[in-house]
Structure 1
Amino acid sequence: MALRILAQGEILDIAVSPDGRRVAVLEAGEAIAADPDHVRAHGMRRRSRLKLVDAETGAITASPTTDVALHLLRWSGRSDAVLVWARADGEAWREGGLRRIDISGVETSFDQGGLSALIEGGDVDELRGVQADWLAEVPVLRARKAGGQRFDWYALVAGRAPRALTAALETPPDRLAAVMDGSLLMFADGALWKAELEAGLTRLSPPDVRLADGGHIDGMQALRLRINNAPRRDWAVGRLGEEGGLIMDASGTRQGFTTRPMRGASVLSAASATVVVALIRDQGAETLWLSGRGVDRTIDAVNVEFAARAFARPIPVEHRDRLGRETRSWLTLPVGLPIGEVKGVVVNLYPGSVSNDAHIDPRVLLYGIRGPLLAAAGYAVLSPAMPESADDPAAGEGYVASVDLAVDAALKAVPDLPGERIAILGHSFGGTAALAVAARTHR
């Protein structure tokens, strides 16, 4: 097989068009001078320049004066354009906008109708970005109204005001489960929904089945692949709480399922249109299980002896977060110790993340604090659900509100916990939030 160089340089990212003909290439450009009045820990230090490379002819279409954010590089279903978040040199990222760049290099901006794709006071950096995709040839943007906190998915149709596709949902989804040519699949309010431009929302799952998004997100992937890379297919993977999971297509038909118990950090790690592969995790014991029509068997298992050991197990604490949405915090209690003898409650926090003490992947090992270890020393450990608001000027008050709600819910669930003895613990960004809470709380 002959090899041919299509592009070379300091390449930051690539995305191949659905038809395989072209490659969108992001290259590092000029260095950006730091702004002493607005220093960001993870701000982008180089400009990003986009090139569209024709893999057949080698022809390159470049956008040399457009600074493209790293987190969005989404080809249209017809492979004729790329959706990006871009700005002019000298602008802040929040002053940029969604743009369509076609294969001839023509750029088209969209009227966002005063919507903001970022949290209050936020901006794009190496860890955060906007979310967008295509609904046929129409861009859809996850955004909020000016002054609001609720994010919906809006269709940006030329010549019309932005249309909120998820306005009828109580809790709009923060990600898309799948993308088809003329519709989007998403999980929200315990159901699978199909969103179409003209028909609006259609519930696909039956009312007596409560479904959550079962798609597995690898925390070690690049930001773009985690937030702006919904699979192009007509089915989605749903999770039935701890009871298992299923595959449902765009007509609402179940195509495959697993009924294996999926407690704690168990995930649906892979799926096709008819087969599910579940990774069942139990205190470090892991079993890979294959389920589908006519097949239901173990593929492999490791550390099986761990399942019989008496580790502290987290329990879910259901409550509303500070934005009024249903959420879940996790409470780990000492094994074999009466609640009345618990030494205190340790609130182990990290904004934007909640830990069920799975402690199973490199990211968690790097940033997490081992809850069962503290529980073994006689403490209850609470991991509170906290919406991320790092760039919000009122972030500290938001952290306090989030911790208060989680603590109140935990004390309600286990009334005999020593609510008068609470410690706040955090590492890295969690340490920043812990200090903010400690300085503001009235507890």
Structure 2
Amino acid sequence: MRHFAWLALACGLATSSPADGQAFSVEDLLSLEELGRTAFSPDGRWLVFEIQGPWKSAPRFDQDFLIGAAASRLMLLDLTDRGPARALLRGLAGDGETFGAFSPDGARLIVFRQRGHARELGVVTLASGAVAWSGRLVEPELWFAQARWRDNREVVAISRPLEAQARLAGLGWLAGERLQQAWAAGARGEISVTALGSGRFSGVNAPASTASLVAIDGVSGAVRDLTQGAFSDLMVAPGGRTAALIEDGERTQPSTSSTMRVGYPPRRLRLVMVDLVSGKRTIPCPRCDLIRGTWTWSPKGDAVAVAARPDGDGWSGYGYWRLAANGTAKPLAPDLTLGDTGGRDPRPMPGLAWLGRDPFVLARGGGTPRQDWWRLDGRRAVKLTGTIAEPQGPAVMITARGFVIRSAEGLQRIGADGRLARFAPSTASLDAPADLLPGEPRATRMLSQDGERRLLGSNGERSAPLDLPAKAQILAASQAWGGVAVTTTDPHGVGSLQVIRPGAPARAVATINSALADKAFATPEAIRHRGLVEAELTSWLYLPPVLPTAGLKGLIVVPYPGARYARPPVAAEPGSRSFDTNVQLMVAAGYAVIVPSLPMARDREPMPGLAEAMLLAVDAAIATHPVLKDKPLAVWGQSYGGYGALAAGVQSSRFSAIVASAPITNLLSYYGAIHPEALASPALITMPSELGWAENGQGAMGGPPWSAPDKYLRNSPGLQSDKIGAPVLLIYGDLDMDLGQVTTLFSSLLRQGKDAQLLLYRGESHVVMSPGNVRDLYARVFAFLDAALPGSALAPATPGGAPTPATVSPSPSAMRPSQ
């Protein structure tokens, strides 16, 4: 049917019809709801899930990725009856509700309420709904554990006062507030300086942010202060007597010969043991520098196995250590070393499990590059996987009786006795629930094999096949209940949460975005084509489902260098909260859109050939749909995609308009740029990692600017603005990484008298998120495209329906702290 419609369009006969559905709009985007974290209680009685209300209903928009959580409500489903889900908490309007870990018996749950900028921890008893609020503030658990159960009643948590919030809880608002405080101090004649140091002057740098380790009674809310330190992650021992914590130590100082990589730790990471009765703290190895996320307690709770090294440089020198609660430390199998991930930006690839008496590790031995799993029995290292293809990464499932690993031969299981057994063929996959808390054991998985999907138990037992909807995403799995919670999204973006177990009908739990049911969305069409790096690629074309009466306005290319899309990009699906380059909004505005696969070779510089690679996808789409042949091309990219958009404009005259939001334009000036939030809060500076972006991350320069200045120059589109012939629209948030990336390019274009606009959004960071700014952004971009693309009547500089410059700035009473 679509091909007949496009034939009609080519002949100028197509018209739109209300029966085709209403076009998706910016207001629809801002009204989208979202399912947050979902989890079963350990006893299998309860399902708890977060529903984030419409984006524009959030109480404030200066909290970056926490904006959605601030509009979240917690819901509780009793799996022992057929009643509907109900609200778990009786919070005040404007409180955002999220949750953490269940107590071991499943009777209680850690919950958080976001009130203003404060994120307070509480404990709710699920059966009664009674809540004990602690009065203590805790960071979001995006990467690291912040609150865990000591037993069925007491919670151990890392807590910070509001003014000392670390990077996540302070995103957005804290930088603006501290800048205002500094400006006010300067106005009063007081000190308002940020001091940074290097080499002999490193001592002027701010220390890491200090936190308190506290124990909270889950019934009364009473708090015991245990100790203080620059803590960032925790793990409670079996039995609950001791907590292991990662503490941020002194700043790292890379040597001039070291290879800088993304993720290079900005500080040494130390392990601290804290007695949860007395609060006594012990550092078993004061000079051991840890790798985050690779640690595990012994089943007895007397020691932790970690991946660590004596203080060193770069990513080298890591091995495995045993750090005991009594303060002793010793290396485990010193002859074994960690392997790495390979690729352009290799990083250490540790793997750990501790079953019974012995730890098991993934490591290289005997000076070979191959990685194997080893059992460390206290006397020697025993290789366990030498008879199979090389293991592929850490364990994918760990239980008390064994763990599952991947190899080219399929899934293998290693038991607590060290025996290796084939678990599933290479055609099988093992899927994890979507939102595990950091550090949660990988103990429940979904096995997909021979067209069937089964739940795996802790001992490797398999359930009867589960009848899951097509494209269902597994949010949570429960061995105790014997089933899963899944979400599905229909072609209109209407989402459904269901619980399913073998032999029983699916149970509907919640529906979101029902208002999208009458909206028309573009469906992705695969475009097969050759590439510069790979012989065969798939890109994705989106055509308007409701044919524009006046015909297509043009074809927009949405690039992201390095991306390879075997499946349609998730951000372009109906119902996706995509605020930067929203494909469905572009289609609704009358454009065809192509999202090209742009893989990059490891040994090539990032900029050469980008336009050619994009145009290979464009020409393949034109060959499939000749109606696109005479349509003007625009390119619109976000972040590294903005870099790609500008590179395309430098390299090809086929693009008639360029939109670049949050782009990198100048690799020389971007090298080592310091984020405004880090300058406002110097304890948060992650300098070595930022240098790694340019040297071996997406920048791919292979070294610092002084080692190859010409390389930096020829890969910086902003330093080649004389080659840009198309009109350019630059978009940036004043809290993003480096405002100079767009101001210098805009000034260069202005100097040459070229058509350009710069939109600077106050109080925004890497993605524009405030509803008023989102509305303004799309109004201005579409007006810019209308004016810039050939065949369009020249529109006025201020887009129709968008605020004029005189009304863009809010009144003093409406100013947010970050403005």
Structure 2 counterparts to residues 356-435 of structure 1, below 5 A: 356-357=570-571, 365=578, 369-376=581-588, 377-382=590-595, 384=597, 394=603, 396=605, 426-431=637-642
Structure 2 counterparts to residues 63-142 of structure 1, below 5 A: 63-104=285-326, 105-111=328-334, 116-120=339-343, 122=345, 130-134=349-353, 136=355, 137-141=358-362
Task: Assess, with a 3 A threshold, how the Cα gap between structure 1 residues 89 and 433 changes in structure 2: closer, same or farther.
Answer: farther
The match for 2:441 is: 231
Distance 1:34 1:144 in 2: 27
Shift of 1:168: 3.4
Distance 2:267 2:311 in 1: 11
Instruction: Pick the structure with more helix per residue.
Output: 2
Task: Assess, with a 3 A threshold, how the Cα gap between structure 1 residues 199 and 88 changes in structure 2: closer, same or farther.
Answer: closer
Distance 1:50 1:174 in 2: 24
* TM-score between both structures, scaled by the size of structure 2: 0.41
Shift of 1:71: 3.3
Which is higher, the Rg of structure 1 or of structure 2? 2
Contact 1:343 / 1:379 at 8 angstroms: preserved in 2? yes
Instruction: Describe the superposition over 1:127-146 as per-residue Cα deviations: whole angstroms up to 9, x where unpaired.
Output: xx634221633333378999
Q: Which amino acid aligns with 2:508?
A: T
Task: Assess, with a 3 A threshold, how the Cα gap between structure 1 residues 34 and 203 changes in structure 2: closer, same or farther.
Answer: closer
The match for 2:557 is: 346
The match for 2:3 is: none
Instruction: Describe the superposition over 1:1-29 as per-residue Cα deviations: whole angstroms up to 9, x where unpaired.
Output: 46433331221111122443321111122
The match for 1:214 is: 431
Q: Which amino acid aligns with 1:371?
A: V
2:508 to 289, 298, 302: 298
Task: Assess, with a 3 A threshold, how the Cα gap between structure 1 residues 424 and 16 changes in structure 2: closer, same or farther.
Answer: farther
Q: Which amino acid aligns with 1:180?
A: T
Distance 1:425 1:143 in 2: 45
**Are 1:287 and 2:496 counterparts?**
yes
Contact 2:413 / 2:422 at 8 angstroms: preserved in 1? yes
Shift of 1:330: 6.2
Instruction: Describe the superposition over 1:119-169 as per-residue Cα deviations: whole angstroms up to 9, x where unpaired.
Output: 356466xxxx63422163333337899998xxx862134545755579538
Shift of 1:202: 1.4
Task: Assess, with a 3 A threshold, how the Cα gap between structure 1 residues 92 and 427 changes in structure 2: closer, same or farther.
Answer: same
* TM-score between both structures, scaled by the size of structure 1: 0.69
Structure 2 counterparts to residues 305-316 of structure 1, below 5 A: 305-314=515-524
Distance 1:33 1:280 in 2: 48
Distance 1:315 1:290 in 2: 31
Task: Assess, with a 3 A threshold, how the Cα gap between structure 1 residues 179 and 321 changes in structure 2: closer, same or farther.
Answer: farther
Task: Assess, with a 3 A threshold, how the Cα gap between structure 1 residues 378 and 164 changes in structure 2: closer, same or farther.
Answer: farther
Percent identity of paired positions between Structure 1 and Structure 2: 19
**Are 1:44 and 2:261 counterparts?**
no
Shift of 1:287: 0.8
Contact 1:17 / 1:79 at 8 angstroms: preserved in 2? yes
Q: Which amino acid aligns with 1:236?
A: R
Higher deviation after alignment, 429-438 or 90-99? 429-438
1:203 to 423, 429, 437: 423
Instruction: Describe the superposition over 1:236-255 as per-residue Cα deviations: whole angstroms up to 9, x where unpaired.
Output: 224589x9954134545225
Task: Assess, with a 3 A threshold, how the Cα gap between structure 1 residues 59 and 20 changes in structure 2: closer, same or farther.
Answer: same
Higher deviation after alignment, 61-70 or 29-38? 29-38
Q: Which runs of 5+ in 2 are unaligned?
A: 1-216, 653-819
Higher deviation after alignment, 268-277 or 135-144? 135-144
Contact 1:23 / 1:54 at 8 angstroms: preserved in 2? yes
**Are 1:154 and 2:372 counterparts?**
yes
Distance 1:371 1:121 in 2: 30
Task: Assess, with a 3 A threshold, how the Cα gap between structure 1 residues 100 and 330 changes in structure 2: closer, same or farther.
Answer: farther
Q: Which runs of 5+ in 1 are unaligned?
A: none
Shift of 1:34: 6.0
Task: Assess, with a 3 A threshold, how the Cα gap between structure 1 residues 39 and 232 changes in structure 2: closer, same or farther.
Answer: closer
Contact 2:375 / 2:381 at 8 angstroms: preserved in 1? yes
Task: Assess, with a 3 A threshold, how the Cα gap between structure 1 residues 183 and 330 changes in structure 2: closer, same or farther.
Answer: farther
Q: Which amino acid aligns with 2:374?
A: L
Q: Which amino acid aligns with 1:372?
A: Q
Q: Which amino acid aligns with 1:379?
A: A
The match for 1:272 is: 478
Contact 1:176 / 1:230 at 8 angstroms: preserved in 2? no
**Are 1:177 and 2:400 counterparts?**
no
CA-atom RMSD, angstroms? 5.3
